[in-house]
Amino acid sequence: MQEWPDDKLDEFFRKASEELNPKFEPDDWNDLKKKLKQVAEQGSQWTRFRTWFVLLGGFLLMGLAVWYYFPKETGHEGKVMLVNSGLPDSASMQTAMTPEPVSDAGSDHGENRMTDRTQRILSGKEGRSDGDVEMRQTRVGKISEKFAVNEPAEDHMGLEASEISGEQPVTGLTEHSVVAEEPKILSRHSSDAGGVHSEPIRENNVERYGGTTIAPVADPELLPENRNPFYEESAKTIPAAYTDDSADVVVSNETAVVDSTQDGMQDQDKKPKPGARLAIRGGLAPEMNAVTFPDFSWLSLTGNVMIEYRIMPRLFIQTGMVKSSKTYCAFPGDYTWPDRWQQTVLPVSVDGTCQILEVPVNICYTILEREKANWMITAGVSSYRMLNEQYSYNYQRPDPSIRWYKWEGQTGWYWMSHVNVSAGYERKLGNRFSVVAEPYIKVPVRKVGFGKINLYSTGILFSVKYNIR
Amino acid sequence: MSAYNSAGLPELIQGCLKRNRRSQELLYKQFYGYAMGICMRYSGGREEAKEIMNDGFLKVFIKMETYDTGRPFKTWLGRIMINAALDHYRKDLKIKIVDTIGEHEVPVVNETITGELTCEEIMSMVNRLSTAYRIVFCLHVIDGYSHEEIAEKLNISVGTSKSNLARAREKLKIMLSKQGSDDYARMAR
């Protein structure tokens, strides 16, 4: 019996603690497993919420971008011309101002005639009689008929129009008379608010709209002191453009953009009518699958039949069936080993082949509509039904304790297990048929299959669409 | 199985990184004894030890990404278990201990009797210490922390750490002497 020094006591307890090795209690692991499941569920709920949030945000952003960008684009498309407008030198300006001698009435060119006539108007030598006005009104009727068949914009202006009418060529100035039937609607560029409204009747052009006598120097642009050299040069390139009030000209250092947008009424006439309300689609898609993004496997083929219904002019709801055979390779951690399979040696990889029936429900928005083509974006959710699952378990080396080398079966439905996002291009082949190419990606929001895997898919769907009504 | 497991520790860690439940289970089984041993010496009993250990393993599985594979896994795991125990008892560390040790008491230990004690019996003496004494004793004596480190970890002064250690030792000596005398009396009967 003796008093122990501190170091001896410490050594005594240190040795005891090192020797302490409690035996494994399965209940302890079961308790931890429950905690891990709770944590995983909380995590997956957050992941699901985040996925939806990102998708919704992306969809809204795309919608906003479309809303801001495309209306302006469609207003300009097909009507914007780029004209090389290196600033004219004084000689060319002089050419534009000087009347050319008319040698032969039969070979008379509009450009010369216009210049000649402009000069006469500017010098005040050309008077107008009531007869002139009547004759011009007759021409107006004929030209208006031509406009009514939606000819290209350049055909509406200047000489060609008058030549078709078979009468005296109508110069740029007479083009004013064409629109003098009613107050002209300004292009969008002329409106401060970006809308379309009528040009106010000014002192200078009051005669054009209502009077029987038309002042020859009606347009202040034609006055020598107000004449823009660029306008003069443009007049050489596009004979009637400078006299068309609806033509907006933007001058930059090297190029000028001539916007010959016609009035808003014509724009509305050219807009494609909304498509059919009900349509059916069938197609095939080469597809790649992965259990870890973005490690996609080789291509497999999917087939689909979809029906779509237009609920708004540009908005469709789609549903249908997609039959696919997905092949993938999963590594430890990608899949969940079944709890009831008590096996100490785990496979190094699992090869899976699954026959899947997918039921998507999508919303499709047409972001750009053209007469012959449409661009659209689609988002939605899919439910998977596992029709047949085949798994082959690969082990590093053979072991007598291995009991599971393969598994085959089906695990049924996985509701709303995936989110679909796609962008598509539709080419119309006629009134009823069109073809669609649509790259897509399917992102899992819950695990599917016997191995509880996250199954990503991506591919391009090529389909034929038939408009039923 | 043990051969497979020891050879497959990197694979198990990889599996745990991918949240593979089977890999987690195997890792848990492999280090259960070690982790439970740490938790039992810091806790007041087996149930508390299990709670601490499972909290520790939960941290291990969630924060596996932070593990530096260049360092021994066992050391990293031990550190997490100790921190889990400190987190568990942190609120108890501030409670002021009222000692019942008499200043005149000099404990005498019978070495013959102590040699016959099992490690569970010995460690149960540590478990009987108050939380503040037990934690400081385990940190300093068994896990090798300095008083400065203990003071920082427990947010106490170095003096308090030293004082708690001294009192823990005294208590353990008394327990050992009592254990010896009880056993001696039992043997004499």
Check if B162 contacts A (Cβ < 8 Å): no
Residue B95 touches chain A, beta carbons under 8 Å: no
Q: Give the model's confidence band at A439: pLDDT under 50 very low, under 70 low, under 90 confident, else very high.
A: very high
- A375: alpha, beta or left? (left if phi > 0; alpha if psi -120 to 50): beta
Chain A residues with at least one Cβ partner in B under 8 Å: 1-4, 6, 9-10, 12-17, 19-25, 28-29, 31-33, 35-36, 39-40, 331-337, 339, 344-346
Q: Could you give the CA distance from residue A326 to residue A216 in angstroms, rounded to a whole number?
A: 78
- Contact of B9 with chain A, judged by CB distance below 8 Å, is answered with no
Q: Is A380 helix (H, G, I), strand (E, B) or coil?
A: strand
Residue of B78, B71, B39, B176 lying closest to A28 (CA atoms): B39
For testing the chain A interface, which of B5, B122, B133, B170 should be mutated: the one with the most A CBs within 10 Å? B122
Percent of chain B with pLDDT over 90: 36
Give the model's confidence band at A18: pLDDT under 50 very low, under 70 low, under 90 confident, else very high.
confident
Of A17-31, A198-212, B27-41, B69-83, give the lowest mean pLDDT range: A198-212
What SS3 state is found at B18?
coil
pLDDT band at A70 (very low <50, low <70, confident <90, very high): low
The reported pLDDT for the residue numbered A135 is: 46
Per the CB < 8 A criterion, the answer to whether A364 and A378 are in contact is yes
Q: Read out DSSP for A292-355?
A: STT-----EEEEEEEEEEEEETTEEEEEEEEEEEEEEEE-BTTB---TT---SSPPSEEEEEEE
Check pLDDT > 70 for residue A63. no
Grade residue A127 by pLDDT with cuts at 50, 70 and 90: very low
On the 0-12 / 13-18 / 19+ scale of CB atoms within 10 A, B157 is exposed
Q: What is the pLDDT of residue B107?
A: 63
A-facing residues of B in 112-131 (CB < 8 A) are 114, 117, 119-120, 122-123, 126
Q: What is the mean pLDDT of chain A?
A: 68
Structure confidence at residue A88 as a pLDDT band (50, 70, 90): very low
- The pLDDT assigned to A338 comes to 81
Determine whether the interchain pair B54/A39 forms a contact, defined as Cβ–Cβ distance below 8 Å.
no
* Reported pTM: 0.40
Q: Comparing A242-251, A325-334, A355-364, A402-411, which segment has the lowest mean pLDDT?
A: A242-251
pLDDT at A50: 66
Q: Provide the ipTM.
A: 0.82
Chain B contact probe: residue of A13, A339, A394, A401 with most B CBs at under 10 A: A13
Residue A376's CB: how many other CB atoms inside 10 A? 20
Determine whether the interchain pair B169/A17 forms a contact, defined as Cβ–Cβ distance below 8 Å. Answer: no
Nearest Cα residue in chain A from B59? A36
Determine the average pLDDT of the residues in B146-156: 90
- For residue A39, list chain B residues with Cβ-Cβ distance below 8 A: 58, 62
CA distance A30 to B50: 12
Q: Report CB contact under 8 Å: A1, B110.
A: yes
Q: Nearest residue on chain A to B137, judged by CA atoms?
A: A10
Q: Chain B contacts of A17, Cβ < 8 Å? A: 37, 41, 119, 123, 126, 138, 142
